[in-house]
Structure 1
Amino acid sequence: MTQSAEPILQVRDLKIDFSADQGILPVLRGLSYSLPKGRVLGVVGESGSGKTVHALSILRLLPPAARISGGEILYKGRNLASMGEEELRSVRGDKISMIFQDPSASLNPVLTVGEQLTETLLAHRKLSKRQARREAVALLEKVGISEAEKRLDEYPFQFSGGMCQRVMIAMALALSPDVLIADEPTTALDVTIQAQILALIKQLQRQSGMSAVFITHNLAVVSGIADDVLVLYAGLCMELAPAAQLFENPFHPYTQGLLSSLASVHKKEDVLPVITGHPPVPGQILTGCPFAPRCPHAFDKCRRECPPLFEEAARRTRCWLREGK
């Protein structure tokens, strides 16, 4: 994974717990990575692996039952995990922005699109309402919405799902952030619109030079947008590698299983391979490697001890099979 002298975002040994009736449930168990300027990190894994919780923690948008119990989230060296609320507000939206999973649920149905876009601009920039409206028109045009001046006065219900997601992208990019967090931004869209949104995000990211964390359960989606890929399982990083290397030669058995289960136009298979079993539930006490119960290569040591992240050139892999490589 390519590193810069001073990464714009660093997550160091991040731990997140949830309070529940049955006690404290660990969801993230010590996640670490660095995000260099201008790079896109894809974070992938099955549902329940901790992807969205990790994303929400960066801007401290976790639900009330969740808390950061350890580690640091560093933006340009400043720890967001311990930052005061007033200081954090100056970072949210301005320096780090987020696109959420469901655009229809994220937009306020009783405010026009223009009101929601200009609200962001007026809150962080010294602009008149007229200037903010001009900026909002330019933003809608930038994300490919035609008749932008007219559509500013329309409400979210008058937009399709794909158009709502374009509006969310415009809002996220309104203040030219250094880091964009995209949490499953195409999940609710059909395949054609999904491809358009992915191409738009990649194009805007390259034009602006911003960094991005792109979260998805779909490796096929991340292959077209990420420079590096982090594979998350049971709140732990299983593999972290440059995207091209990971897709060409995945090291971890979990990554191999995810890739083998993808449908391909080049292979005719009646039944796609699947990873047997289920991920551990949040809070489950883990002994050994969390993937061992599902791993076809597991041996005794895997069941007794959780492996560290073994480093090999630009790659990291949490698997005893990589020991001594």
Structure 2
Amino acid sequence: MVIPSVPRNLFEIQRYRDIRTAYLFILPTITILLLVILYPFLTAIWISFTNKSLGGQGNFIGLSNFYTLFQSAEFWRAFGNSFYYTFSSVILKFFIGLITAILLNANFPFKGAVRVLIILPWAISPYIAALTWRWIFDDYNGFFNILLAKYSLASEPIYWLSDPRFAMISVIIAATWQGYPFYTMMLLAGLVTIPKELYEAVEIDGGNKIHKFFYITLPSLTNIIITTMLLSFIWTFNQFQYVYSMTGGGPGGMTHILSTLTFKYGIEMRNISLASAVSITAIPVFAVLTVYLTRTMLKND
């Protein structure tokens, strides 16, 4: 029995129908993305070229807002603080998360309960966590200063949040405390998938724990580490809660980052156009990271 060949145009018609059906399914998602992301994004870019104030009308003024920003020491300080805050937090969260992941991968009693407890800081609202750490670092009634006074470790209170030397460090500590469980979960998931036979092979060759870590553990976690750190960098760079809730950008604007400076210009000073210009300056950073992260994830797949 000879099966008649199907004309090529029938396959093309079916393929066209499949593509049309696929687009119909993703049309609601595309519509939401256009309304929720693209439209506000393009609006913010347009506003940055105007002199719009909160509740008022704006006129096109070109690059004047960007010229004002680039001449402002406050902006460059916030720009530098954003990178300092982000890099410090990401690196600390990575090392603490890696250590806790390795410890939780070992066998010990109540391991399941400990794994659940380690996630709790990440599950808490960032605002609640920031307010809690604000109390811990309080100048007079904070936990740290009470502890230092009790054991006579300091002759006078340390102004954690009002001293330029300690304010940003205090905020980084708070952000690290809440963020490291994300690293722990991601790295622990990677550790569980590493075959034990690889570690046994290292032992047979006379290797120790250091050899296991650098020749088996780290190479096996490379892709997870890159993806996790890039995601964390994007989230941390865009964070607002800790600086705003703990220091408000003080003392004297020394802890302002781009997100809190945007809030200051847009809400407190009612200068929406200048605030939009501040937020636009972060776009190249996010664009580079997003492209690199996307390529990394596609390469891993």
TM-score relative to the length of structure 1: 0.23
Higher relative CO (Cα under 8 Å, sequence separation at least 6) belongs to: 2
Larger Rg: 2
